[in-house]
Chain A
């Protein structure tokens, strides 16, 4: 080996050591590739070159010098195989870019990619020494390239993990918050903020189905058009998230509004709401995991919204129950606590209030030692309003019956008072009569009430004379009255429609016929026995069926 040769080898070695130090000092892939290229180009006086790495089994240019941009992007799709250099497309590409030599970059894990370099400026071909030098450089490079690729992958995996952790955090935080909020609007807002923050979306809507009514809770789309479009298809059929392409195909109206993703909010497999999202500002599509995440938050939110609704309902029900309890109390206090004892009459009454509390009313008022007033009425409506109107009529009745007016005129006055005291279409069916224990005269007026039955000698006479129901309009036609002289063993049965309209399991009514027949059958008994028998029959008939109206019966028997 002569001196000149020695110096050349030494210089090569120094260059190699320097090169090795340099590329192994960095984990930046671009820096490493750039240096490999520059070193080769400088060493061999080459003006063009590229490094293509194997990415997903195909080669892709990751660093280059002197290759036009278009050609970087349009690198032919080739796999490294035994004959890849024979690929026609690849060959054309190389000659077009005047790349004359290709070298494989081999690491312990296999081929990582290729290095291509162009012609040398001095037009000399590469000699054996050059080849060896190049292969040495690529060998040194291979492990550095491999390491930096691994680091990049690790970084990506880490970032991916960070993203997942971040999503889990969001889910966790929201589930906590959803438990605390009281209004569905607030929950929906929280839901949407989390979603738009997570996915960089600026157009969105939350739609909730409540008692089959569509409610748009939050919307940055045109609200009118959205609700019009939503109404055109069946909400319940959306049971899976709908991606962009499917919206375009099946729901063009929504697609035109800019909706690119619809995610149902489901509770026990029932769609209770929809989350609609516009495009992501980053122009990325929603991935499967993105959609799963949105679906999870949506489900969390709808549970919270549904719970709030149920809570509200329970609260209202409780309020209603309390109100009914009050009404029941008022009603009980208005009915006579005890029935006076008479020499010639035997009077018994029963009042069974239904769960909803109707407005049945009856009264027995002592006017003087011979005269009594008997009344029965049914106030329309239920609950507290009915109970209050009942209190009204009791007050009027107790005052008016003591004024010595004739019963027709008195009924007219009561009607006028009730009419001016009711506004919302409430009315009262009412029957009342004045009873004289001395001469057994009974004078009555029937203002639209179910006609009481006068039973004499096994025959029924209905006490129907009177006029219109109370509370509908001011009195312009005087009420008619009728006087009956009662006889021994006469029975008068006063009742409300809760009796004849009592229902059984098959929704059949107890009916007037059945009731009248019973009254006839038991008319020989005392009034209290009669009521007891009739009550048993009604119970037998209804057999525990829920009754929507009060049941009231008052029976007077002449003894």
Chain B
């Protein structure tokens, strides 16, 4: 069975989720839990780091769709970073770049949050 795990790190008010392994129909519930835990704690600013993710299926992509509305309603966002070309191609194929900000590095994504935050002030 394909292995998948997530870990999270807090950078100020921003949560960073690290994905590792294979995100498919079988492992999608793990990521669901991670998102719903963050939302429960009122953490709506999230960067997802795909650096160690080897594969994502459409069920895996569905998890992002399932939470994005709720997060954006609360003035948050999910920004994506550090995808391998293979993973990016799947996102690209289904049109995700229209809806999600995708960055080369985690730092860029985090900085975007910080910039928009200082802009609000």
- Residues in chain A within 8 A of chain B (CB atoms): 159, 162-163, 166-167, 169-170, 173-174, 176-177, 180, 189-190, 192-202, 281-282
Contacts and interface: CB of A to CB of B under 8 A. Distances in A.
Given A166-B94, A200-B99, A193 B62 contact: yes
B33 to A, nearest CB: 12
Contacts of A198: 58, 61-62, 94
A196 B26 contact: no
B25 A195 contact: no
Given A162-B89, A166-B93, A197 B60 contact: yes
B59 A197 contact: yes
Instruction: Name which of A159, A180, A193, A200 has the most chain B CB atoms within 10 A of its CB.
Output: A193
Interface of B: 24-26, 28-29, 57-66, 68-69, 89-90, 93-96, 98-99
9 contacts: A173-B57, A177-B26, A190-B25, A190-B59, A193-B59, A193-B63, A194-B25, A281-B99, A282-B99
A162 B91 CA distance: 12
Contacts of B57: 169-170, 173, 194, 197
A179 B57 CA distance: 17
Given A180-B26, A190-B28, A193-B25, A200 B94 contact: yes
Contacts of B99: 200, 281-282
Contacts of A201: 65
SS of A interface (majority): helix
A282 B95 contact: yes
Contacts of A189: 29
Contacts of A167: 58
Contacts of A169: 57
A200 B98 CA distance: 10
B55 to A, nearest CB: 10
A162 to B, nearest CB: 6
A163 B59 CA distance: 15
B25 A200 contact: no
B29 to A, nearest CB: 8
B87 to A, nearest CB: 12
A194 B66 CA distance: 11
B96 A200 contact: yes
B59 A202 contact: no
Given A170-B57, A173-B57, A202-B69, A197 B63 contact: yes
Nearest to A282: B95
A171 to B, nearest CB: 10
Given A202-B68, A202-B69, A194 B58 contact: yes
A308 to B, nearest CB: 16
Nearest to B64: A197
A193 B30 CA distance: 13
Contacts of B24: 173, 177
B6 to A, nearest CB: 16
B21 to A, nearest CB: 15
Given A177-B25, A193-B65, A202-B69, 13 more contacts: A162-B93, A166-B94, A167-B58, A170-B59, A174-B59, A190-B28, A192-B62, A193-B60, A194-B58, A195-B58, A197-B58, A197-B62, A200-B65
B26 to A, nearest CB: 6
A190 B89 CA distance: 22
B32 to A, nearest CB: 8
A259 B66 CA distance: 16
A489 to B, nearest CB: 80
Contacts of A166: 58, 90, 93-94
Nearest to A190: B25
Contacts of B65: 193, 196-197, 200-202
Contacts of B59: 170, 173-174, 177, 190, 193-194, 197
Nearest to A192: B62
Contacts of A159: 93
A281 B99 CA distance: 8
Instruction: Name which of A169, A174, A198 has the most chain B CB atoms within 10 A of its CB.
Output: A198
B41 to A, nearest CB: 21
B111 to A, nearest CB: 25
B47 to A, nearest CB: 19
Contact of B62 (A162, A180, A195, A281): A195
Contacts of A190: 25, 28, 59
A2 to B, nearest CB: 60
Contact of B58 (A170, A176, A281, A282): A170
B19 to A, nearest CB: 15
Given A173-B25, A177-B26, A194 B90 contact: no
Contacts of A180: 26
- By Cβ-Cβ distance, the 7 closest A-B pairs, closest first, are A193-B62, A197-B61, A197-B62, A177-B25, A197-B58, A196-B65, A198-B58
A134 B65 CA distance: 53
Nearest to A283: B98
A498 to B, nearest CB: 53
A67 B98 CA distance: 29
Nearest to A169: B57
A198 B29 CA distance: 17
Contacts of B66: 193, 196, 202
A173 B74 CA distance: 34
Contacts of A281: 98-99
A282 B65 CA distance: 12
A200 B95 contact: yes
A172 B94 CA distance: 18
B28 to A, nearest CB: 6
A282 B25 CA distance: 23
A426 B57 CA distance: 57
B23 to A, nearest CB: 10
A231 B65 CA distance: 28
Contacts of B93: 159, 162-163, 166
